[in-house]
Homo-oligomer: A and B are copies of this chain.
Amino acid sequence: MPDFTDNLKPRYDGTATLQAERDASSINVDELAKHLLSRNGFLERQQRVLNVLSKEKLFNKDQLLNLSRPDRYYLGLARSKAIQRIGRKLGWDDEDYKMAEYLNDEMSPYHLHTTMFVTTVREQGSEEQKAYWLPKITNFDIIGCYAQTELGHGSNVRGLETVAKWDPERKEFEIHSPHLTASKWWNGAMGRTATHAIVVAQLLLPKQGKAHEYENHGPQPFIVQIRAEKTHQPMDGIVVGDIGPKYGYASMDNGYMLFDHYRVLKSALLSRYVDVSDDGKFTRHGHPAVLYGSLTFVRANIIMHARLILARAVTVAVRYLAIRRQFRDRDSTNEQEDEMKVLDYPTVQIRILPLLATTFALHYTGEYMYMLYQRSRETIEKGDFGPLAELHSASSGLKSLCTMLAADSIETCRRAMGGHGFGGGSGLVLINADYLSKPTVEGDNWMITQQVAAYLIKKMTQAVKNPNNKAKDPTDVLFQTYLQTRSSRTPKTIVSSSGIDDEAIVDAFQWRAADLSYRAYQARVVEKKPWTKLMVQLHNLSRAYSEQILVTNFYSSFETTSSPLSAPTPAVLRRCFRLYSLYTLDTFASSFTLTNAVTAESTYALLDAILELMTELRPHAVKLVDAWSIPDWLLDSALGRSDGKVYEDLYDRAHRRNPLNKITFNPDYRSEEIVLGSGDGGRDLLAKL
């Protein structure tokens, strides 16, 4: 319905504002985008899949925030099914399907089927099992999930309560849930979608020669049908369902499942690495180290994904805050002067620009992880598992650090955007709700840092024992150098009147990580302190170690003899390196001075240096986020639109796309009627409660 607001314009034109921002920087956005996003043909694939999905009404994002949680699952399933139909018609490959899930931006009820379920069968199934199951999986004749985590146990897999007991008479396993806390819990796609599950259960075999006594051979994977083919009802002896609404993942049916002496054939045990003979004897064969390899690959993906999440939050913030104006300069005497762009406030810059710099820090380390993974695959295939421990440790620490940085960044950006940041037009509501799972899944961010610290203590112990051993891993080199120069160390000056010393930055991060490792070694190995007492220090150590990796790899990216990037991009990226590094250094200044990495005076100069760097980066901010190439359709953000039509879009969402405005309510408390003229008395609603 037309009205007088149809032709109103915002006071300042957002489109012209963003154009002016772009004109003021000479960064070549296309070139930088290709530099960042060419792996596996990312940019081309993104455009191609986007063209398909964005044209389908089913994938319209308009009403997502207005749907109930049950409707969100319903929609999520409908979309996942449509993606399969579309992809098969267009001949998509695996990467195309992944891109479709990324752009659709919801956890798919098929997600576990196409990842953990198929991977586990492929990696842990015997040749016979693979021949039987893989065609069914690829064909979607069955739909699988991965049932490991339980109500009572997540991180501690060895503590799982579900048991699979061998019945020597019938040559079958009996899967059983002895307690309520044995219930499988959280397992994606299990709630309503899956027909089959990989069930991880404690393998109990009779003790040889002893009746009714069992020996536990630890958690092992079983492939189990959980729902009947035609009716999709749970099999007898299984209770399974969806666990209900969560912070995010509304489209995903995370499930619970319990077993009542549920019997499965011997062939249910995935038996590439373990097996049970017909007379109940346990055997192991092969080396499951390759499993760590795929875990490491998953974590490298998480880092690369984290940088895109960060980039997305920062894209919204930078574009909106470059358009938003509020208050004239406090020192201005010109009453007619325009209000300042909010992004010109240092109090806003300090929340946003270090995060923008962080996107690049994550990028170069993600690339490094892929390279390491590739290299280690080659050595593993030759039977050398040596580099795997270093790779696994680095990937654990980085998973913890990077997902925390990305998760925190969304809320930081949102808050920096003031009122409109709290609105649905921010485009950050759903991404925040979904992404907040990441600090917990795939290894809790605080728990896995303990593994990193254990590795570093082991490495330091070796370095102390054999200071001149031939160093193999980067950590060996770092620790040996540290031990050799320890006695002559003087803290470095990072920032001085002659500028910022980039090599000193890298040195400071490396030194701090090595020194904290040495302190941990001293406390644990020499003084034999209880592990539990040291946990906080060890967590801090893992963070310092991971920050050192980010800083080192970022710095290494400048070392190529000729940059593939044209001016001024290399210089701008170097400022990003400095900003990320100095901002991190400032946040943990005390840790850097404690370890003699830098002088205390040097830390007092950091804030001014950071403010100066931000002033230098500010003109390039819009083009830097442009380079991350997040499509408007994915952003789904009025504030972050690439064309700057912030206020037009916010108004359109409110005035033309809000179903609540189609209903007239009765606000008079004397009447029980809620919708005016309906005489309903709220009965429909009460039925839902």
Q: Are B232 and A666 in contact, CB atoms less than 8 angstroms apart?
A: yes
B-contact bits for A41-77, CB 8 A (1 contact / 0 none):
0000000000000000110101101111111011101
- Chain B contacts of A429 at CB under 8 A? 245-247
Q: Are B650 and A151 in contact, CB atoms less than 8 angstroms apart?
A: yes
A268 on the interface (CB 8 Å rule)? no
A5-B327 Cα distance, complex, nearest whole Å: 62
Q: Please name the residue on chain B nearest to A651 by beta carbon.
A: B180
| Contact A657-B77, Cβ < 8 Å, known A186-B419, A239-B5, A650-B151 | no
Report which of B71, B421, B445, B537 forms a contact with A685, defined as CB distance below 8 A. Answer: B71
Point out which of A81, A242, A593 has the most chain B C-beta atoms below 10 A from its C-beta.
Answer: A81
A346 on the interface (CB 8 Å rule)? yes
Could you tell me the distance in whole angstroms from the C-beta of A329 to the nearest C-beta in chain B? Answer: 6
B-contact bits for A341-354, CB 8 A (1 contact / 0 none):
00011111010000
- Chain B contacts of A209 at CB under 8 A? none
Could you tell me the distance in whole angstroms from the C-beta of A137 to the nearest C-beta in chain B? Answer: 13
A676 on the interface (CB 8 Å rule)? yes
A562 on the interface (CB 8 Å rule)? no
A173-B667 Cα distance, complex, nearest whole Å: 28
Q: Are B647 and A536 in contact, CB atoms less than 8 angstroms apart?
A: no
A214 on the interface (CB 8 Å rule)? no
A458 on the interface (CB 8 Å rule)? no
Q: Are B239 and A418 in contact, CB atoms less than 8 angstroms apart?
A: no
A629-B233 Cα distance, complex, nearest whole Å: 44
Report which of B11, B65, B179 forms a contact with A244, defined as CB distance below 8 A. Answer: B65
A161 on the interface (CB 8 Å rule)? yes
Q: Are B686 and A4 in contact, CB atoms less than 8 angstroms apart?
A: no
Q: Are B239 and A10 in contact, CB atoms less than 8 angstroms apart?
A: no
Could you tell me the distance in whole angstroms from the C-beta of A510 to the nearest C-beta in chain B? Answer: 21
A381 on the interface (CB 8 Å rule)? no
B-contact bits for A524-538, CB 8 A (1 contact / 0 none):
000000111101110
From 412 to 427 in chain A, residues with beta carbon under 8 angstroms from any chain B beta carbon are 414-416, 418-419, 421-426
| Contact A242-B11, Cβ < 8 Å, known A327-B155, A535-B345 | no
From 657 to 672 in chain A, residues with beta carbon under 8 angstroms from any chain B beta carbon are 657-661, 663-672
- Chain B contacts of A350 at CB under 8 A? 536
- Chain B contacts of A537 at CB under 8 A? 607
B-contact bits for A170-202, CB 8 A (1 contact / 0 none):
000000010111110110000111110000000
Could you tell me the distance in whole angstroms from the C-beta of A183 to the nearest C-beta in chain B? Answer: 7
A654 on the interface (CB 8 Å rule)? yes
A411 on the interface (CB 8 Å rule)? yes
A604 on the interface (CB 8 Å rule)? yes
- Chain B contacts of A668 at CB under 8 A? 81, 140
Q: Are A665 and B161 in contact, CB atoms less than 8 angstroms apart?
A: no
A653 on the interface (CB 8 Å rule)? yes
A80 on the interface (CB 8 Å rule)? yes
Q: Are B689 and A58 in contact, CB atoms less than 8 angstroms apart?
A: yes
A3-B239 Cα distance, complex, nearest whole Å: 8
A542-B213 Cα distance, complex, nearest whole Å: 67
A285 on the interface (CB 8 Å rule)? no
| Contact A535-B347, Cβ < 8 Å, known A155-B418, A685-B74 | yes
A11-B445 Cα distance, complex, nearest whole Å: 26
A387 on the interface (CB 8 Å rule)? no
Could you tell me the distance in whole angstroms from the C-beta of A304 to the nearest C-beta in chain B? Answer: 22
Q: Are A232 and B71 in contact, CB atoms less than 8 angstroms apart?
A: no
Query: Among A368-376, A435-443, A467-475, A551-559, which stretch is in contact with chain B?
Result: A435-443
Q: Are A71 and B151 in contact, CB atoms less than 8 angstroms apart?
A: no
| Contact A536-B159, Cβ < 8 Å, known A179-B9, A429-B245, A667-B143 | no
A180-B63 Cα distance, complex, nearest whole Å: 23
A237-B4 Cα distance, complex, nearest whole Å: 8
- Chain B contacts of A242 at CB under 8 A? 654, 658, 660-661
A267 on the interface (CB 8 Å rule)? no
B-contact bits for A263-296, CB 8 A (1 contact / 0 none):
0000000000000000000000000000000000
A128 on the interface (CB 8 Å rule)? no
Report which of B81, B437, B651, B665 forms a contact with A672, defined as CB distance below 8 A. Answer: B81
Could you tell me the distance in whole angstroms from the C-beta of A660 to the nearest C-beta in chain B? Answer: 5
Q: Are A422 and B446 in contact, CB atoms less than 8 angstroms apart?
A: no
- Chain B contacts of A75 at CB under 8 A? 685, 689
A570 on the interface (CB 8 Å rule)? no
A57-B683 Cα distance, complex, nearest whole Å: 12
Q: Are B418 and A232 in contact, CB atoms less than 8 angstroms apart?
A: no
- Chain B contacts of A326 at CB under 8 A? 153-156, 159
- Chain B contacts of A180 at CB under 8 A? 5, 8-11, 647-648, 651
- Chain B contacts of A241 at CB under 8 A? 654-655, 658, 660-661
- Chain B contacts of A415 at CB under 8 A? 436, 439-440, 445
Point out which of A63, A84, A85 has the most chain B C-beta atoms below 10 A from its C-beta.
Answer: A63
Q: Are A193 and B77 in contact, CB atoms less than 8 angstroms apart?
A: no
Query: Among A20-28, A252-260, A308-316, which stretch is in contact with chain B?
Result: A252-260
Q: Are A688 and B71 in contact, CB atoms less than 8 angstroms apart?
A: yes
- Chain B contacts of A663 at CB under 8 A? 70, 192
Q: Are A658 and B243 in contact, CB atoms less than 8 angstroms apart?
A: yes
| Contact A77-B674, Cβ < 8 Å, known A347-B446, A418-B444, A689-B57 | yes
A359 on the interface (CB 8 Å rule)? no
Could you tell me the distance in whole angstroms from the C-beta of A148 to the nearest C-beta in chain B? Answer: 12
From 188 to 230 in chain A, residues with beta carbon under 8 angstroms from any chain B beta carbon are 191-195
- Chain B contacts of A346 at CB under 8 A? 532-533, 535-536
B-contact bits for A101-124, CB 8 A (1 contact / 0 none):
000000001100000000000000
A152-B17 Cα distance, complex, nearest whole Å: 15
Q: Are B532 and A682 in contact, CB atoms less than 8 angstroms apart?
A: no
Known: A63-B689, A74-B674. 17 other contacts (CB 8 A): A5-B239, A10-B152, A65-B69, A66-B69, A66-B688, A85-B669, A140-B668, A154-B418, A156-B327, A186-B419, A242-B660, A243-B654, A243-B658, A247-B422, A345-B535, A346-B532, A589-B589
Supply 20 A–B pairs (Cβ within 8 Å), ascending by A: A3-B239, A10-B180, A10-B181, A62-B689, A77-B667, A77-B674, A153-B326, A154-B326, A155-B327, A180-B647, A191-B661, A192-B660, A243-B658, A247-B422, A256-B655, A330-B532, A344-B532, A346-B535, A415-B440, A593-B600
